[in-house]
Amino acid sequence: MKSYNLLTMFFCIPLLLPGAMYAQTTVKEQPTLNNATLQECIDYALGNRPGVKQSVIDEEIGETEIKSALSGWLPQINGTGTANHNFKQQTSVLTNNGQQSLITVGAKNTSSFVLQADQQILNAGLIQASRTAKYFRQQYKQNTENTKINTIVDVSKAFYDVLTSKEQLNIIAENIARLEKQLKDASSQYEAGLVDKTDFQRAQISLSNSRADRKRTEELLKYKYAYLRELIGYSADKDFGLSYETNAMEKEIDVDTTQMMTYQNRVEYRLLQTQRELQRINTSYNKLAYLPTLSGFYNYSFNYQNATINGLYDTNYPGSIVGLKLTVPIFLGGKRTQEIRRSKLQESRIDLDLQNSKNQINTQYEQAMATYKANRNDLNTNRSNVDLSRQVYNTMKLQYDEGIKTYLDLMTAETDLRTAQINYLNSLYNLLSSKLDVKQALGTITVNP
C-alpha cells in the first residue's frame, strides 16, 4: 500500500509541475503612474516600451545565433537506420584460371543502424564564428543602447510638452478670470451709461476667444497624454498623471556649452566601428577559405542480413570505423578571389560611412548648440517681456478704471500679457528640447545597464 502511494505521488509530480512553473513565470503587474515624475516615466519606458523590449529580444536572438554557430566545434553525433529488401541481388563475376563463375553477393534482406560522431578540427567557417562572436554581441548591445537613448529623448520631450500645455491652461484660466471681471465691469459701466456698448461687446468677443482657446488646448492635451502613454508603453485603461513644478523645469535648462565633442561618445559611430571590425574579419575569412578543412569521425554500425524477413535481426554483423577527412580546395573558378575583393570594397565603403558619420555628428552638434543658445536668449527675452507686459497691464487697468485710457488700450495690454506668457512657455519647452538635442549630440545621455 505504501509503495502504491509513493508511485502515485511520483507520477503526479509531472502533472503539478506545469502549474508551478506557470505560477513562477506569471508576469508581474506593472505599477500605476498616478503622479509620475520624468525619471519614473523614463524608467517605465525603458522597461515596457515595445521598441526597447524588441531590442532586448534581438540581443537574446543574437546570443542564440552565436551559440548555434559555435556549436559546430562540439562533436556532432548522428544516428541512421536502413532496412532493404533486394528484389534482385547483386551478382559478381569471379575469374579462376581463365574460368569465370557468377556468385550472388549479399542477402535478400538487409538492415543497418549506424551511430557516427564527427569532430571539426580545422574549419574556416567555425574560425570566423569564433572571432566574430564578440563583435556581434557588442553590436546587439549597441543597438539596444541606441534604442534606449532615443527613448529617453522622446519621452523627455513628450513629458515637457504635456507640462507646457498644462501651464498654458493655467495662463488661459488666469486670462479668462481677468476677462470675466472686465466683462462684468464693462457691463456695469454700460448700464450706468458711462460707456457705449462696444466695450461690452469687445469684452464678450475676447472672453469667447479665450474659452475657445482653452477648449482647443484641453483637447490637444488629451492627445499629448496619449502620445506619452504610447512612448512609455503604458496601458490606455490605467490611470495616468504627472508630477511637475514649473520652477523645477526652469532649473533644468542649463547645459555645459564648453564641452568638447568626442565621436566615440556617440553610439551610432561606435556601431559603425563594430561593423568595420566585422567586415575586416569577413575579409580574413575569405582568405582563410584557401585553407583545407580537416575533421575526424568515428562510427559504429549494427548490420543484419538474412534470406527471410522473419529472421533478419537474428544475427548482428557489427562494424566500426575511425578516421580523418581532409578536404583541400584547389580551384573554384575564381570565386574566392572575387569574394576577397568584394569584402575589401565593403571595408572601404564602411570607412566612407565613418567619415560621413563624423561630418553628420559635427553638423548635428553645431545645430543643436546654436539652437540651444538661441532658445536660451529667447527665454531670457520672453521672461523680461512677461514682467514688462504685466506692469503695462496693471498700469492700463488703473488708468482705464479712472477713465484715462480706453477699453481698446486695456485689451491690447491684456493681449500682450497673454502673448508674452505663452511665448515664455514655448521658449521654455524649446530650450529644454534643445538641451536634450545637445546632450544627444555630445553622446552624454547615459543608459543604466
Cell numbers given for 120: 571539426
Q: What pLDDT is attached to residue 30? A: 65
Cell numbers given for 72: 559546430
What is the amino acid identity at position 435? K
The β-bridge relationship of strands 33-36 and 240-242 is parallel
What single string gives the DSSP state of each residue in 351-411? HHHHHHHHHHHHHHHHHHHHHHHHHHHHHHHHHHHHHHHHHHHHHHHHHHHTTSS-HHHHH
- What tens-digit pLDDT sequence spans the chain (449 residues)? 444 443 344 344 444 444 444 444 444 556 777 888 999 999 999 999 999 999 999 999 999 999 999 999 999 999 999 999 988 888 887 887 777 787 877 788 999 999 999 999 998 889 989 999 999 999 999 999 999 999 999 999 999 999 999 999 999 999 999 888 888 887 877 676 666 678 778 888 888 999 999 999 999 999 999 999 999 999 888 888 888 776 777 888 888 888 888 999 999 999 999 999 999 999 988 888 778 899 999 999 999 998 888 888 988 999 999 999 999 888 877 888 888 899 999 999 999 999 999 999 999 999 999 999 999 999 999 999 999 999 999 999 898 888 788 888 888 998 999 999 999 999 999 999 999 999 999 999 988 65
What radius of gyration, in Å, describes the C-alpha atoms of the chain?
A: 40
Cell numbers given for 222: 488629451
Q: What pLDDT is attached to residue 383? A: 92
Q: What pLDDT is attached to residue 23? A: 42
- Name which of 234, 215, 210 is nearest 159 in CA terms: 234
- Name which of 357, 340, 343, 336 is nearest 279 in CA terms: 343
Q: What pLDDT is attached to residue 98? A: 74
Q: What pLDDT is attached to residue 319? A: 93
| Coil, helix or strand at residue 112 | strand
The domain spans of the chain are: 31-74+123-292+332-442, 76-94+103-120+293-327
Could you tell me if 46 and 148 are in contact, meaning their C-beta atoms sit under 8 angstroms apart? Answer: yes
The arrangement of secondary structure in 31-74+123-292+332-442, i.e. its CATH architecture, is: Up-down Bundle (1.20)
> Buried b vs exposed e over 168-203: b needs ≥16 C-beta within 10 Å?
beebbeebbebbeebbebbbebbeeeebeeebbebb
- Name which of 130, 154, 151 is nearest 55 in CA terms: 151
What is the amino acid identity at position 335? K
Q: What pLDDT is attached to residue 29? A: 59
Q: What pLDDT is attached to residue 449? A: 56
| Coil, helix or strand at residue 333 | coil
Q: In sequence order, which residues have a C-beta less than 8 Å from that of residue 195 and are 6 or more positions away?
A: 186, 189, 407
Query: What's the number of CA atoms in the CB half-sphere (13 Å) around residue 339?
Result: 15
Pick the CATH number of 76-94+103-120+293-327 from 2.40.50, 2.20.200, 1.10.287, 1.10.20: 2.20.200
Separation CA 394–CA 416 (nearest Å): 12
